[in-house]
Each structure stands twice: as structure tokens, then as C-alpha cells.
Structure 1
Amino acid sequence: MAQDRLGLFDTPPSRAETRLSIAIVGLLFASLAVILPLQDIRLREVDAFIPIIDAILFVSELITAALLYAQAAVFRSRALTILATSFVLAALLLIPHLLTFPGSFAPEGLLGAGVNTTAWLFTIRRAALPLAVIAYVYLRQADVSSPPWTERQPERIIPWLLGAAAVATAITLLTTVGHDLLPPFYTNNVDRVQHYASLYHFIVFAFYAGATIVLLNKRNSVLDMWLLVALFGWLFQSLLNVVIPARFTVGWYGLFTLMLVSNLIVMLALIAETGWLYSRLALSTAVQRRERQARLMSMDAVTAAIAHEVGQPLTAVTLNASAGLNSLTGPEPDVEKAIQALRAVSDSGKRTFDVVRSIRAMFAKGAHEETEFDLNDLVRETASLMDREMAVKKVSVELALNDALPMIKADRVQMQRVLVNLFSNAIDSLRIGRGRPRRIAIRSALSDGKGILLEVSDTGTGIEPDVLQHIFEPFFSTKAAGRGLGLPLCRTIVEEHGGRLWASPGEEFGAIFHLQLPRRRQ
């Protein structure tokens, strides 16, 4: 299966990272410019210098290799595996370099070292890195250009580690046992054979220049950017190495210091970038998990909303159908009542279809279907639709509608859903109240030049103050069988139309729901 990618291997660098890398290359170049004029000056021999430098380089290159092997294992990349192995090889060659360096552990070095052993170890070590970068670039291009359905086998790291150890052992044997087979590098432990040494280091410089050009042309990721920083640092070191006449000069000490700084920069950059990328991955995973839970909750909300909204007209269909059936099957069939009941069934069926379509539109993206209509007419129509239910429950309606109201532009079906919900809640609140008239009052008026105000009040049980602030919250309900979605959906619809919906206690008892709509949508 194709591998999903998210890492140093394929993440492009940001502008800030690019600017930082350019600044680091500039500092390395400035260091080279400072060292070059002073490179011939002889300094005191410090025997602990090479052990310290080699130990730090050994640890940093192994850490870099471990980070690259981790990326290679995740993305099954041969390119990253080869690059990581080159750092392992470079780290392993530091061990014989340290042991054979004159003065570190013995005046002439250990392992039967000759005068040129350490120089050749370090030169071969330095030449291996740019060759590995070139191989990395071209193998990475092959990975990227492979078809997305191509399945790549996971890289086995152990054979590569064993291979690096075998190559390091062979190079060590070549530079120690086969010392006399190699061309001269030094005349003694300090002074170089300059024309030979300059030639060897110029060849290494050419390798680094070629690797830098190849990577510059093919760069596209954070890893490429920091490899370029390292290559520029190593390029400057190779240039300095061409002109250094001997060990223990300003140029020689500066060379190893520059090398240490370059390697530490790459290691720290890779650690920081890896930590940052995987932190983003963890955050992205957490966000996806929350989004998945939110989608599941939304699906529950949609399902409950459909059951809540469609249940009302379907209940009317059932009641009217039963009434029509009773009118036809009774001892004295009443055809006129049956016709009225069937018409009510038809109207409720149409309203059910409109409600379903409206719910679908509300949860879909895009603009709602808006028309201009008279809100007073919609109130009267809704009261007529609820008339049979109110008659059964002995609820009266008082309409105080201002006929001077302007037309409004809104989704008519959705606004009717709001009114039906407000009617239904008022009717439910009147079930419990006793000793007072069961009445719903609806008043419409202009609202201080801001639009139209519609108030639906009842003489029911009212709403407790501690409950009033929660009634528009999803899934909050004071009814035993309530789902707590009617009022939140109503508020959502009203707010989508640029209005407001809120509730307040009635003057004596009951509750008042205030619906404010703009004269014209903004």
C-alpha cells in the first residue's frame, strides 16, 4: 500500500526556517573568512583536543543517524537508509581516527598506525558523506516518482549497520596494515606534503561541490534544507583543508571547530524539526479525534432533530386519519368531516415533506431558499395548522397582530418550524397549569426601528430562573421525554436569518418567547 507521508523527508521548509538556514551559512562563511588569513600561525599542541572533538562528533553523528533511520523505517525509504548509514560509517571511522592520532593515547598512535593513517581515515570519512548525499537525492527522486499504489518493502536496518561496520573495518585495515600502499600525506606527525595533501583535499572539495549543486537543484524538504547547511559547512572546511600547511595551526584548529559546529547544527536542527513535526502530528491526530466525535454528535443531533420535527406533523397525520376513519365507519357516517380530516392529512403530509427538506437544507452548506412573505400571514397559517391539537387540549389563541408590519425575506418553511415549536412548547406548558385559562397570546409589532418583534406568551407553568438560562442549550430539556433540540434549532434558524430569539418570565405566570427579525437581511 502507498505510504502516507508527514516528516522531514517531504515537509517543505517555512520561510523562517529558510532564513535561519541562510543566516547559519553566512556565519559559517564569516568564520572561514576570519580563519583563512590566520591559518598559517602555529599554536601549542593540545593532546586532548582530538579526543574531545571526536567524542562529540561520534555522539552527534550517531544521533543524526538514529533520527534518519527512524524516518526511513516509517516511510520505507532506501534513500534515507543510505543517508543514515553514511553517518554511521562516519561515526565508526572516528574510533580508529581517535586511536591512531599521534599523541591522543600514544606518541605514534595505536593499532600500528603510520604517519598517514589518521589523515587517510579522515579524508575517506569526509569523501563518503557527499557521495551518500548524491545517492540520497537520486533514490529519493525514484521514491517520489513511483506510482502511489506501489508497495515498498520495509527497510531492514541491521544489514545496513553490519555493512557500515564491515566497511569501517576494511578502511581501518587499509590505513593501518596497508599503510605503505597509500600515497604520502604527511612527512611527520605535524607537517604535510603540501602538493599531495592539497590534491587529495581538492578532490574531496569537488565531491562536496557536486553534492551541493545536485541537492540545490532537487531540494524540496526540511531535511534537504539542513543537509544543504551541512554541505556548505563541509564545503568551507574542505576549502580550508586545501591550504592548511600543517597540524596545530590556527587553520587546523579552526577546521575541526568548524566541523564540530556544522555537525551540531545539523543534529540540533534535525532533533528540533523532528520534535516539531511529531508534535504537530500528535496535535493533528487529537484534532481529528475531536472532529470525529463532533461529527458523531452532529449525526445524533440531526437524527434527533428529524425525529423531533417530523414527529409533530406525523402525529397530526395519524390523528386526522383516525378522525376521518371514525367519521366514515361510525353508525352515522359523516362524509363532510371525513373530507375535512383527509384534507388535514394531506396538509400535514405536505408539511412533513417541507420539514424534511428544511432540515436537510439547514444542515447542508450554501444559502437557504428565501422568499418575501408577511409574517402575520405565517402566524395565522401556523395557528390554523395547530388548531385541531389546541382544540383537543382546550387551548385558545389570541392574536394581536400589527397589520402595518413590512414584508420580511426569509426561508418560509424554516420560520414556520420555529413558530410550530413555539406553539408546541406553549401547549405542553398548559397541560399542567390548573385554575387559570389555557391561553396562548401572540403579538406582533415594530421593534424600535430594528425590525419586527413577535411575542408568544402562554398562561402555563412558566420557566424557573435557573432553567431559563439553559433552555436554548442542545440536549437540555425540562420534559421527561424531551430531546432538548427544538429550541436550540429554533435559535439557530433565527440567528441564521439575522434575528434573535430569547425567553423571559410572563407578567403573572407562564413564559414569553421573543422573536426579533430584521426588516431586511443584512
Structure 2
Amino acid sequence: MPYGRDPIVSLNRPQLCLVAAVATALLSALLLTIPFAHFRTTGTEIILPAYASAIFVLEIITSALLYTMFNVQRSSALLILASGYLFAALMVPGWAITFPGLFASLGIEASLQTTATIAALRRFAFALFVLGYALAPASNLTVRPAVRIIIQSVFCIFAVATVITWLITKEILPLPVFMEDAHHVTALWSFVPGTVMAIYLLSIAVLIRRQRSSLDIWVCLVLFSLVIELTLLSYISSGVRFSIGWWAGRVYGLTAAGIVLLVLLAETTTVYSKLARSVAAEQRARQNRLTAMEALSASIAHEINQPLASIVTNADAGLRWLARAEPRIDKVHASLQAIVSDGHRANKIVSGIRAMFMKGAQERVPVDLASIIRDVTGSVAVEAELAGISVEVEFDPRTPAVIGNPVQLRQVVWNLVENSLDAMRTSKERQRKLRIKARPIDDGEVEVSIQDTGVGLEPGTEEQIFEPFFSRKPEGMGMGLMFCRAVIEAHGGRLWTSPNLPRGAEFHFSLPGAEMTGPDRGR
């Protein structure tokens, strides 16, 4: 993943506004501090260990987060910045322990120049690390495993920091004279903040020109805070330790140490929340796909059951005709033809259901609903007669054709008719009547209604019956009406139900007429 494209370090306008606001607040605090910078404080030395501990913890955690980002992005710039924070953190304990008079009661005494030398080296090193981060290319390191690189970097930084601290505290080499006494600096010290601030400003210029990521902008804010810190420590307070200006500079240093950490924590939390939402959305999408597959399988099983039952019935009839003393070849031939017809119908049903679940696979041709209704009622005529059900068809001759998939629309009519027949078989009403009407309605649409005098619908189930796997039949799969609504809605229509007073139910579906499916539809 290219550095700068990761969401943790993506650049955006709200972050720029926030950086500008924080920088303005830091500058305002500096202006308020200047009049009181030379005032000395007493008894504040005891705060220094807490300050050093806070700086150490903040920089160690920041380094760990940056190493974690490097493990993901393999950016050499992140590796350099993480190493810089780690080195700066590891130099803090030596600086605090050797601070003049701070741990004298514990018998820890160091030379006057030890603390200042550690501080100078720490500032120079961090400034150079940040400059290296600013100048590092955006390319990723892919040669070696990231974990191995991190371990090697941590080991090397720890070893170098330990050796340098040991050399300074043991005064193996002569130390530069930075301090006149425990509170005042020499003229040589002014070279340290001036040079370090120049490196900071150079790094800021490079980072602003590059603007590769929001992390760059936040590092600029860190450097800006450190520039203010050095200005307070070395110039405004004249380098006098424990003055208000000196302590104000330490507060700026503490702020600088926490800026990147807070940003990384906030951005990481944001990224993980987005990731959690993405995972949840993926799980929902996966569940929806599984539900769709279940619905497809159940729809195929439900719709194919009818032609399969017809195939079995015709095959059984053919076998009986063959088993007679004088086989009726003509009857067997008719049964076989019916089997072939049912087989083709089953194939078309499967293809139609599959097309319904596949975008762009829908067959759309002019369909004569009168022909479909006559075909379905003719197929169920014997079944209805045996159940004592009369079938009436009312078809308005003005009814236009519709554009759709004939196999799917036939299956819709078949399912609705079969549902009505089933409802009347279990009804105790003596008058059993199935009435099918088709007529044109407003806006050029066609409405088909199927009325029965069966048991009717339970109150409150008018919409529930169209949900998958909902059925009041012990042997029902609850897919027929779901399939019907899906087909009708895929054809730009709608399917609904209403009571057929005084008894029974009425199903309606409407479809746009053929003249509505042209380019002018919906204008």
C-alpha cells in the first residue's frame, strides 16, 4: 500500500483547520507567557521527575504506534520517524537522573555539563531524524520482513542510546561547557537551539511543500511547538532553569510529545470503527447472499414441484395403459407427450427463476395475459371440477398486452390460482367459486384479480404472506407468494391482497401495458 494513501494518514481539510487552530493557540499562549518568563520559581524541582516520566511514556508509545504503522505500510519515512521518537525517549532517563541536585539525596551526582550535553544531543538527534523523515522517499521497503526490520531498528537505537548515555555520564570524552552553574547557560549553548531550530524550520518547509499526508502536517505542528519551546527555554527566559519561561517551554515540549500520539490514537480509532462498520456490512451482504441463495433454492423446489408431480402422474398413467391386457398405445403416447411438455415447462421455470436473480438475463416479449389465463384455467379445470369449484373468467377485450417474461408470468398466475384452489378445498362453504378478471385501469396499466370463496386471510397477515418461508399450509414451503411478488415487481408492477367479502380472499396484480414500456414511460 503506497504511503500517504492509507486512511490513517489521509490528508483532509478539517485536519488542516484543526492544525491551524492549535498552532494559533500555541502562539497565543507564548505571547501571554513572555511578560512573566523571567520570574523565578522555587521548590518546583520536584515536578521534574514527573515531567520526565510523562515525556518518556508519551514518546515510547508514539514510537510503538509508528512502528506498528510501518509494519503495515513498510514506509522508510515511518521507520525513521519511529526511530527518532524511540531515541529521544531513551535519552530522557539519563537526562533526568543526571539533572543537577535532583537526586542528590540518593547519592547520584553528575558533572555540571552532563545533563546539558545529553539534552543537546537529544535535540540534535531528534531534529535530524525528523529531517530524515521529511526527505525520505515515499517508496516502501519490501525486501525484508517488517518485523525483522523493526527488531533490528529497536535494538540498534537502544544500543546507541545506551552507549552514548554511558559515554557522557562517565565523561570518557571531554564534555562541551554549556553551563556556568546549575541555573545559567554559557554562550556556547546558544549554538544548540539556533542550529536545532534551523533544522526544525527546514523540515517544516520540506513537509509543507511535500504535503504527502496528514501525518506530515501534524509533525509540522510538533516542530512548531518545539521551536516555541526552544525560544522560551533559550532566549526569552535566557536559559535560566526553573523560571516561568523555562517551565512554559517544558509544557510546550510535553505538548509536542503528545500531539502525534493523540492524532495516531484518534485516527486509529476512526479507522477501526470504519473497519468494524465495513465488516458488519460485509457480514450483512454475505447473509443477504445466503438468504438469496436459500430463496432461490426454495423457489426452484416450490415451483418445480408442480411439473414434477404432473410428470409422475402421467408416467404412472402410461404404465397402467401399458399393463392392460390390450395396451393402449395412443394413451401411452399421450402420456409421454405430456411428460415431455411438463419437462420443458420445468426447464423454463428453472430458467425463469434464475433469470429473476440475474440482472440482464430477463427475457422481455409482448405477453397476452388472456392466453396465459386460459392456459392456466384449462390446466386446472379437471382439478377444480373434482373439488366442486366453479371457475369463471372475465376478460375485458380492451385489455392491452404487457411486456414481460411469459414463463414467469404464467407461473405467477398458476401460483395464485393454486393458492385459491387450496384455500377452497379446506373451506366448508358449499359455494366454491374461483373468479379471474383482467381489465385495463388508469395510466395504461393492466390489473388481474383472482377471487376465491375460501378460508380467507387472518387479520394482519396481508403483507406477511409475501415473506419467504411463511405458510399456513402444513406441507407448504412459503415461497410461492414471495416468488409471485418478486416477479411482478421485477416487471414494474405490484401485487397485493384484499378480503373478498363476505368470505374468501382476492389477489390483485397490476402490470404496465405494452404501450407504457417505451422510451416515453415515466415522463
TM over 0.5: yes
Match of 2:179 among 183, 186, 191: 186
The answer to whether residue 394 in structure 2 is matched with residue 400 in structure 1 is: yes
- Checking the alignment, whether the CA contact within 8 Å between 1:99 and 1:110 is kept in structure 2 is no
Match of 2:96 among 98, 104, 113: 98
* 1:328-407 superposed matches below 5 A: 330-334=324-328, 337-366=331-360, 368-387=362-381, 390=384, 395-407=389-401
Distance (whole Å) between structure 2 residues aligned to residue 463 and residue 401 of structure 1: 26
- Checking the alignment, whether the CA contact within 8 Å between 1:113 and 1:176 is kept in structure 2 is yes
Instruction: Give the structure 2 partner of residue 54 of structure 1.
Output: 52
Deviation for aligned residue 1:65: 2.9
Structure 1: which amino acid aligns with 2:197?
F
Instruction: Give the structure 1 partner of residue 248 of structure 2.
Output: 254
Unaligned runs of 5+ in 2: none
Deviation for aligned residue 1:238: 4.6
Instruction: Give the structure 2 partner of residue 17 of structure 1.
Output: 15
Local SS of the residue matching 1:430? helix
The answer to whether residue 124 in structure 2 is matched with residue 127 in structure 1 is: yes
Instruction: Give the structure 1 partner of residue 257 of structure 2.
Output: 263
Deviation for aligned residue 1:444: 2.0
1:57-91 residue CA offsets vs partner (Å, 9 max, x unmatched): 22322332343344455667776555444333322
Structure 2: which amino acid aligns with 1:418?
V
Unaligned runs of 5+ in 1: none
* 1:68-217 superposed matches below 5 A: 68-72=66-70, 80=78, 83-106=81-104, 111-134=108-131, 141-143=138-140, 146=142, 152=145, 154-155=147-148, 161=154, 163-178=156-171, 181-194=174-187, 196-216=188-208
Distance (whole Å) between structure 2 residues aligned to residue 164 and residue 209 of structure 1: 25
1:234-291 residue CA offsets vs partner (Å, 9 max, x unmatched): 3444566664532245643332222222222322222222222223323333332333
1:471-493 residue CA offsets vs partner (Å, 9 max, x unmatched): 11211111222221111121122
Distance (whole Å) between structure 2 residues aligned to residue 126 and residue 413 of structure 1: 80
Deviation for aligned residue 1:419: 0.9
Greater alpha carbon shift after TM alignment, 295-304 vs 261-270: 261-270
Local SS of the residue matching 1:490? helix
Change (3 A) 1:74 1:329: same
Distance (whole Å) between structure 1 residues aligned to residue 216 and residue 311 of structure 2: 69
Distance (whole Å) between structure 1 residues aligned to residue 415 and residue 467 of structure 2: 15
- Checking the alignment, whether the CA contact within 8 Å between 1:73 and 1:155 is kept in structure 2 is no
Change (3 A) 1:140 1:311: farther
Local SS of the residue matching 1:454? strand
Distance (whole Å) between structure 2 residues aligned to residue 135 and residue 219 of structure 1: 15
Instruction: Give the structure 1 partner of residue 496 of structure 2.
Output: 502
Deviation for aligned residue 1:380: 1.8
Change (3 A) 1:141 1:448: closer
Greater alpha carbon shift after TM alignment, 273-282 vs 321-330: 321-330
How much is the aligned-residue C-alpha RMSD, in angstroms?
3.7
- Checking the alignment, whether the CA contact within 8 Å between 2:392 and 2:435 is kept in structure 1 is yes
- Checking the alignment, whether the CA contact within 8 Å between 2:469 and 2:477 is kept in structure 1 is yes
- Checking the alignment, whether the CA contact within 8 Å between 1:76 and 1:155 is kept in structure 2 is no
Change (3 A) 1:466 1:485: same
Instruction: Give the structure 1 partner of residue 412 of structure 2.
Output: 418
Deviation for aligned residue 1:230: 1.9
Deviation for aligned residue 1:379: 1.7
Local SS of the residue matching 2:355? helix
- Checking the alignment, whether the CA contact within 8 Å between 1:116 and 1:179 is kept in structure 2 is no
Distance (whole Å) between structure 1 residues aligned to residue 404 and residue 3 of structure 2: 47
Deviation for aligned residue 1:222: 4.9
TM-score by length of 1: 0.83
Distance (whole Å) between structure 1 residues aligned to residue 405 and residue 4 of structure 2: 45
Distance (whole Å) between structure 2 residues aligned to residue 200 and residue 327 of structure 1: 112
Change (3 A) 1:416 1:226: farther
Structure 2: which amino acid aligns with 1:56?
A
The number of aligned residues is 513
- Checking the alignment, whether the CA contact within 8 Å between 1:111 and 1:176 is kept in structure 2 is no
- Checking the alignment, whether the CA contact within 8 Å between 1:79 and 1:140 is kept in structure 2 is yes
Local SS of the residue matching 2:437? strand
* 1:465-504 superposed matches below 5 A: 465=459, 467-504=461-498
Distance (whole Å) between structure 2 residues aligned to residue 294 and residue 130 of structure 1: 54
Deviation for aligned residue 1:6: 12
- Checking the alignment, whether the CA contact within 8 Å between 1:230 and 1:266 is kept in structure 2 is yes
- Checking the alignment, whether the CA contact within 8 Å between 1:130 and 1:207 is kept in structure 2 is yes
Deviation for aligned residue 1:205: 2.4
* 1:278-289 superposed matches below 5 A: 278-289=272-283
Deviation for aligned residue 1:121: 1.5
- Checking the alignment, whether the CA contact within 8 Å between 1:185 and 1:197 is kept in structure 2 is yes
Structure 2: which amino acid aligns with 1:154?
V
Change (3 A) 1:318 1:390: farther
Distance (whole Å) between structure 1 residues aligned to residue 494 and residue 454 of structure 2: 23
Instruction: Give the structure 2 partner of residue 65 of structure 1.
Output: 63
Local SS of the residue matching 2:299? helix
Deviation for aligned residue 1:399: 0.4
Deviation for aligned residue 1:224: 4.0
Match of 2:427 among 430, 433, 438: 433
Distance (whole Å) between structure 2 residues aligned to residue 344 and residue 396 of structure 1: 25
Local SS of the residue matching 1:260? helix
Change (3 A) 1:210 1:328: farther
1:357-405 residue CA offsets vs partner (Å, 9 max, x unmatched): 2212211234743333332232223323444654666654210111222
Distance (whole Å) between structure 2 residues aligned to residue 6 and residue 477 of structure 1: 55
Deviation for aligned residue 1:422: 0.7
1:422-463 residue CA offsets vs partner (Å, 9 max, x unmatched): 122223223333562554211123445573322112233333
Local SS of the residue matching 1:455? strand
Distance (whole Å) between structure 2 residues aligned to residue 51 and residue 349 of structure 1: 88
Structure 2: which amino acid aligns with 1:383?
T
Structure 1: which amino acid aligns with 2:222?
A
Change (3 A) 1:451 1:211: same
Structure 1: which amino acid aligns with 2:180?
T
Local SS of the residue matching 1:253? helix
